[in-house]
């Protein structure tokens, strides 16, 4: 009779061991899916970023100047622009299709993958080898820029330890962070386990939209150590239970046959995965105790499995939302909020807090929380979050740091630094666990992975903001460029027309600027332009808009300024510049400017009319001897 009880209960134990052991494999698949989502997001962001960089490089004044200067200047300038834009490819063609200059890095493709020629890149015949974007040049011709889809691209996103990333084109390995050898026959989307050239691996494949490639994340299967430990644990429990059953069987074997058979049937049902089974608590004290223990075991198992399923669903939802946010937004606050939500859901934390960097090396302040109000906490190298900022490594409590008095008083906490381009940006910290207990090593690894997602997203936001700033400013002087000034001026026209206000436009030109370049060199001319930009900024108000109009011409917008105020500012600018010469090392250059100005609505009611009126007045100032200010005349800015 003892064997009839022990055998099915052993089967239950083996089933439970398999259920919990399989959880390690499922968590591995979740990490692989997360790695492919991260790779997809960054590769697609690369495609959008290359499109933006194509327009930014095409509008770069340095490129225009190099094209005008000739092939040698273009060959020197193009590689520098490529490095600054973090690009791999740049090709300039003239209007006839002739290549004027090129700048390319060597891709790290897999063995056997041919490196595309310039002609193949220009003909868009290798869109699965590089992310490409083209733009028209103002001087005529076209510009093609791009980034290779190679191992270097994967290295930027392959941060999860133990996971290899591979780009697959059909059946060909394009690039990989780790040699996998021969691919398996099947590479369908989703999770699978297959034999590669290097052995058995867990894998997750996902097609990247708009690129026509497949991202393949692989890792070695989890070791059997955890399963072995569980088998030993359940083996010990089953041994104790077996001894107990044998003793009870010898004493009351004749009285317990019926209840024991019910228990056996229920145990067999549980071994088949039916965790809803319960047995009647009847019979003598021993049988009743055994029945209650069996029911408690099935209840605990059912609750544990439900928690695992709920945790997996929440994790997948949080990762999917995180991937969507990383692809679709450049809102830094929104990105941090969704990262905090993903951290709290994935690791079952009571509270997730993001600490922003206040001052280097380790002063941080709480700036976001997953729910509730942001706590008024500022740390300087103390507590769990402060120690993570100071040491730039994961910190866990209890473990290698104590909580600061300002931090939440919890039994367990963990924090990891968020570092972008070798600079501390903040700290991700979790406090308390919903289910109790401490944060384990795999929890720290998961938090680091989510932290790296935040690092990538923050870096993309900074790059996006820098690209937008470069598109709106002059690369040499740092002032607003002509396009941005025209937009500001048109806004000023609308505001002035709506509220009946006036504003002034001052056009400034350096007198005899050509002689500066002829007498010295172009670097001195560049220094003169930068010097004049600084003088203009010093001589105007903070609300005034100062821009480089083109060449040696600058322009200033004076909000809510009438004729008298505009004339006074123009004369102040002229005298301020003429007051003392420019000094460039040992060179002393007396510089003067000629100025023409116009006012809205006296000299025109549109931006174009005001520009023409100020330009005509500037030309009159030049003809009348230079180093003077001339006011527009009412009909000068209007075409007849």
Closest CA to 110 of 128, 125, 123, 89: 128
pLDDT band per the 50, 70, 90 thresholds, residue 553:
very high
Phi, psi of 623 (to 5 degrees): -70, -30
Interatomic CA distance for residues 404 and 426, integer angstroms:
17
pLDDT at residue 638 greater than cutoff 50: no
Side-by-side strand order, sheet with 89-93: 99-104, 89-93, 142-148, 130-136
Closest CA to 316 of 348, 337, 346: 346
More confident: 191 or 281:
191
Give pLDDT, residue 312.
Answer: 62
pLDDT band per the 50, 70, 90 thresholds, residue 600:
very high
pLDDT tens per residue across span 506-541: 999 999 888 887 888 888 888 999 999 999 999 898
Closest CA to 147 of 158, 139, 155: 155
Interatomic CA distance for residues 480 and 483, integer angstroms:
8
pLDDT tens per residue across span 574-599: 999 999 898 887 888 899 999 999 99
Least-confidence region, from 161-170, 496-505, 586-595? 161-170
CA-based angle 572:574:575, to the nearest 5?
Answer: 65
Strands (E), 345-494: 349-359, 363-369, 378-380, 395-397, 413-420, 423-433
Give pLDDT, residue 370.
Answer: 85
pTM of the model: 0.37
Interatomic CA distance for residues 33 and 44, integer angstroms:
16
Is 313 exposed, middle or buried (CB count within 10 Å of its CB: 0-12, 13-18, 19+)? exposed
Side-by-side strand order, sheet with 503-510: 545-550, 553-558, 503-510, 593-600, 629-631
Give pLDDT, residue 113.
Answer: 87
């Amino acid at each position: 009779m003892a064997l009839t009880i022990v055998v099915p209960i052993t089967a239950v134990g083996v089933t439970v061991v398999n259920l919990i052991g399989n959880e390690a494999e499922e968590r591995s698949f979740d990490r692989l899916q997360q790695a492919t989502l991260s790779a997809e997001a960054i590769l697609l962001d690369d495609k959008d970023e290359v499109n933006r960089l194509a327009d930014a490089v095409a509008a770069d004044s340095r490129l225009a100047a190099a094209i005008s200067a000739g092939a040698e200047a273009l060959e020197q300038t193009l590689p520098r622009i490529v490095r600054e834009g973090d690009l791999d490819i740049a090709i300039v063609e003239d209007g006839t299709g002739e290549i004027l200059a090129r700048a390319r890095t060597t891709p790290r493709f897999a063995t056997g993958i041919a490196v595309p020629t310039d002609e193949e890149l220009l003909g868009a015949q290798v869109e699965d080898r590089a992310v490409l974007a083209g733009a028209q040049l103002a001087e005529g011709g076209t510009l093609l820029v791009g980034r290779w889809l190679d191992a270097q691209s994967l290295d930027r996103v392959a941060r999860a330890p133990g996971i290899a990333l591979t780009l697959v084109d059909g059946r060909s390995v394009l690039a990989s962070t780790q040699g996998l050898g021969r691919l398996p026959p099947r590479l369908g989307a989703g999770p699978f386990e297959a034999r590669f050239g290097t052995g058995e691996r867990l894998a997750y494949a996902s097609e990247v939209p708009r690129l026509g490639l497949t991202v393949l994340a692989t890792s070695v299967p989890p070791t059997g150590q955890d399963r072995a430990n569980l088998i030993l644990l359940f083996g010990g429990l089953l041994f104790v239970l077996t001894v107990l059953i044998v003793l009870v069987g010898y004493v009351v074997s004749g009285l317990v046959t019926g209840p024991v058979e019910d228990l056996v049937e229920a145990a067999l049902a549980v071994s088949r995965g039916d965790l809803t089974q319960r047995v009647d608590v009847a019979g003598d004290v021993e049988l009743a105790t055994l029945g209650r223990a069996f029911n408690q075991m099935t209840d605990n198992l059912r609750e544990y499995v439900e928690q695992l399923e709920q945790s997996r669903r929440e994790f997948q939802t949080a990762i999917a939302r995180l991937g969507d946010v990383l692809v679709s937004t450049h809102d830094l606050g929104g990105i941090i909020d969704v990262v905090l939500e993903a951290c709290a859901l994935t690791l079952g934390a009571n509270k997730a807090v993001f600490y922003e960097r206040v001052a280097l090396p380790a002063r941080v302040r709480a700036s976001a929380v997953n729910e509730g109000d942001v706590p008024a906490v500022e740390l300087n190298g103390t507590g769990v979050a402060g120690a993570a900022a100071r040491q730039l490594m994961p910190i866990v409590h209890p473990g290698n740091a104590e909580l600061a008095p300002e931090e939440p008083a919890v039994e367990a906490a963990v924090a990891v630094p968020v570092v972008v381009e070798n600079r501390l940006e903040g700290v991700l910290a979790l406090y308390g666990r919903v289910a109790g207990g401490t944060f384990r090593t795999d929890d720290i690894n998961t938090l680091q992975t989510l932290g790296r997602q935040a690092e990538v997203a923050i870096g993309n936001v900074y790059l996006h903001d820098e690209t937008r700033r470069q598109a709106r400013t002059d690369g040499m002087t740092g002032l607003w460029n002509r396009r941005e000034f025209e937009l500001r001026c048109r806004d000023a026209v609308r505001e002035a027309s709506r509220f009946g206000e006036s504003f002034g436009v001052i056009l400034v030109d350096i007198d005899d600027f050509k002689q500066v370049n002829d007498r010295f060199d172009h670097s001195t001319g560049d220094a003169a332009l930068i010097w004049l930009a600084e003088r203009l900024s010093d001589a105007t108000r903070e609300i005034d808009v100062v821009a480089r109009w083109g060449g040696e011409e600058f322009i200033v917008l004076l909000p809510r300024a009438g004729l008298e105020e505009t004339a006074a500012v123009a004369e102040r600018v002229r005298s301020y510049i003429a007051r003392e010469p420019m000094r460039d090392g040992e060179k002393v250059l007396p510089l003067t400017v000629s100025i023409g100005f116009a006012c809205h609505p006296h000299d025109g009611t549109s931006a174009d009319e005001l520009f023409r009126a100020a330009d005509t007045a500037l030309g009159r100032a030049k003809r009348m001897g230079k180093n003077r200010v001339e006011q527009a005349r009412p009909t000068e800015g209007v075409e007849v």
